[in-house]
Structure 1
Amino acid sequence: MTEQTAYDPGASAGYRPRRSVLYMPSSNERALEKAKTLPVDALILDLEDAVAPDAKEAARENACAAVQSGEYGRRELTVRVNGLGSQWHDADLAAAAAAGPDAIVVPKVGSADEVLALVEAMEAAGAPERTRLWAMVETPVAVLHAEEIARASDRLACLVLGTNDLYKELGATFAPGRAAIQATLQLVVLAARAAGVSVVDGVYNDVKDAEGFLAEARQGRELGFDGKTLIHPGQVESCNEVFAPSAAQVEQARAVIEAFEAAQAQGRGVATLDGRLIENLHVDTARKVLATAEAIAALS
């Protein structure tokens, strides 16, 4: 297993915001064209659930052409292949690796051994070094082994929650607040942070329920997710807003850093701001807020 450090937006110039991660069916050429104009942080060009069996090969060709087109600007481009053991998986993975997207997304990854096998197959197919692996966590086994999965390889950059499949596997019932899977959500966030990779929340299925979507996105943000996977372009802008530091948070972060630096200049190890104690940990958090805001601003 690879030793990794805590995920830190300010730690690397390679940090990329993943507030909004939109699934796009690669069999739909019109949808792929529209994606070029959306203010989304990342796209998952889907070969799996959103594509009918008789459209799999055409979808694969469309996704690879999109990756190689250079027409998607600053958006992070990923390809979701069909799962391990499916009749399309090997051809999907080989084609996606050769096309060289920012990442290959694999559904239902269940162990560190599977991660290592996927990485080996990517490298054998000629995936460039910059092409990362995103592992979908969609089963109880994957949740219970999420840290091992996240630590298995330096190629693995992100854990993606597959909440619909989790509800099915658990025999749980969806309800606002997601009480049935809240422990699961927290375990996967803990695993990602321990391993130093990013983590994005699952989808919200009712595209007409804007208030319900916002409530779930805010819950994800409060739990520590970096962003959320989406199934409709109409969810993008509100998702970006929820997972970005607000203007007030940025202003507060600057004030925390200034207060602490002023205290240090006077030989003190702590500071106070508006009656609250400021220590190193608060300064670290403030710097991450600013680093995240700067990375988001660089996208525009």
Structure 2
Amino acid sequence: MDLEDGVAPDAKAAARELINSAGQKKFTAPLVSIRVNALESAWIDADIDLLAAGVGRWIGSVILPKVRHVDDIKVFSDALTKVEKSVNREVGSITIDAQIESAQGLVNCEAIASDNRVTSLNFGPADFMADLGATAEEVTSNEYALMKILVAARAAGIAAIDGPTLEVRDISKFEKSSRISAAMGFDGKWVLHPDQIDSCHAIFTPTQERFDEASCLLEAYEHFTSSSGGAKGAAIYKGAMIDEASRKMALSVYNRGAAAGLRASRHFIA
């Protein structure tokens, strides 16, 4: 649910009312998030009041846009602590998804990711380009920013989410961008339109074949490193060398597939 850039200034109050009334419904989504306005905006106090008035009882996380410093997180975390106490929730149970949308945010993303409340770093490409003074039409890659965000997220043990593709009807462009970020190791990507959902799920969820390959490699590595398999640090599996690094890459694929409900349909045979 959005209160920030997706809502016109004159519609902010009405949007808060809609979100407040939404709490009467039963959500089937595993996590409901609200994107509030930036800390420096004129609307953030009203957004926090909305959370304290009751919305804070049923949300799982808050998306905080335009985060520039870890101090932004600390200030907002203090506000969330007051919200949690006012709605009788455990302190720290409302997490923060931080949006990195500026040069300052990118430079400080390691510190931002290190805060205990932050569970993901999210790239905001449009605002990031504007902050750099770039002309979006002429820039073909954000890979430096994406890689820095990804490394910061992984070092902190949290999720890394790529930002949206604005051309919502150009599914091929969305899929191309998604494949790049998925190959880099991102956990997901923002979608702006229902037409993008199926492609996003397909790209960021391993196929059954890829999941099975990862599962078999993990089993093979466990066998080869055991005493019965020769206690080898590295071994040949299907004509290629596998080692601890191979295991870690396979485990990443396996964990992502398992989280999506996949189960191995075949196994390694020694």
Runs of 4+ in 1 over 6 A off after TM superposition: none
Change (3 A) 1:220 1:163: same
- Relative to structure 2, which stretch is displaced further, 78-87 or 169-178? 169-178
Determine helix, strand or coil for the equivalent of 2:48.
helix
**What is the rounded CA distance, in whole Å, between the counterparts of 1:290 and 1:150 in structure 2?**
24
- The answer to whether structure 1 residue 60 and structure 2 residue 24 are counterparts is no
Change in CA separation of 1:154 and 1:59 when aligned onto 2, cut-off 3 Å: same
Residue 138 of structure 1 aligns with an amino acid whose one-letter code is: E
Following superposition, the deviation at residue 177 of structure 1 comes to 7.8
Closer/same/farther in 2, CA of residues 187 and 124 from structure 1, 3 Å limit? same
Distance 1:82 1:172 in 2: 24
Residues 213-239 of structure 1, C-alpha deviation per residue, up to 9 Å, x if partnerless? 110111111222111111111100100
Which residue in 2 is equivalent to 1:81? 36
TM-score, reference length from structure 1:
0.78
Aligned to 1:113: 71
Aligned residue pair count: 251
**Structure 1 residue matching 2:160: 3-state secondary structure:** strand
The question of whether the paired residues in 1 share the 8 Å contact of 2:160 and 2:187 is answered with yes
Instruction: Say which SS state the counterpart of residue 46 (structure 1) adopts.
Output: coil
User: Higher RCO, 1 or 2 (CA under 8 Å, sep at least 6)?
Assistant: 1
Partner of 1:50: 6
Question: Who is 2:55 aligned against?
Answer: 99
- Which structure has the larger Rg? 2
Q: Which residue pairs with 1:130 in the alignment?
A: 93
CA-CA distance at 1:76 after TM superposition: 1.8
Q: RMSD of the alignment, in Å? A: 1.9
Provide the residue aligned with 2:267 in structure 1: none
Residue identity in the other structure for 2:38 = G
Deviation at 1:175, TM superposition (A): 4.8
Letter of the structure 1 residue corresponding to residue 83 of structure 2: A
Q: Which residue of 2 aligns with 1:221?
A: 182
Q: Aligned to 1:242, what secondary structure does the other structure show?
A: helix
How far off its partner does 1:95 sit?
1.9
Q: CA separation of 1:119/1:58 partners in 2, compared to 1, >3 Å: closer, same or farther?
A: same
Other-structure match for 2:166:
205
1:121-270 equivalences under 5 Å are 121-126=79-84, 128=89, 129-151=92-114, 153-175=115-137, 178-179=140-141, 181-263=142-224, 264=226, 265-269=228-232, 270=234
Q: Please identify, of 130-139 and 258-267, the stretch whose mean Cα deviation from structure 2 is larger.
A: 258-267
Letter of the aligned partner of 1:105 in structure 2?
A: I
Aligned-residue offset at 1:211:
0.9
Q: How far apart in 1 are the matches of 2:150 and 2:137?
A: 21
Q: Distance in 2 between matches of 1:176 and 1:154?
A: 37
| Unmatched segments (≥5 aa) in structure 2 | 263-270
One-letter code aligned to 2:118:
L
Distance 2:138 2:208 in 1: 28
Matched AA of 1:280: E
In 1, distance between residues paired with 2:31 and 2:140?
Answer: 28
Instruction: Flag structure 1 segments of 5+ consecutive residues without an equivalent.
Output: 1-44
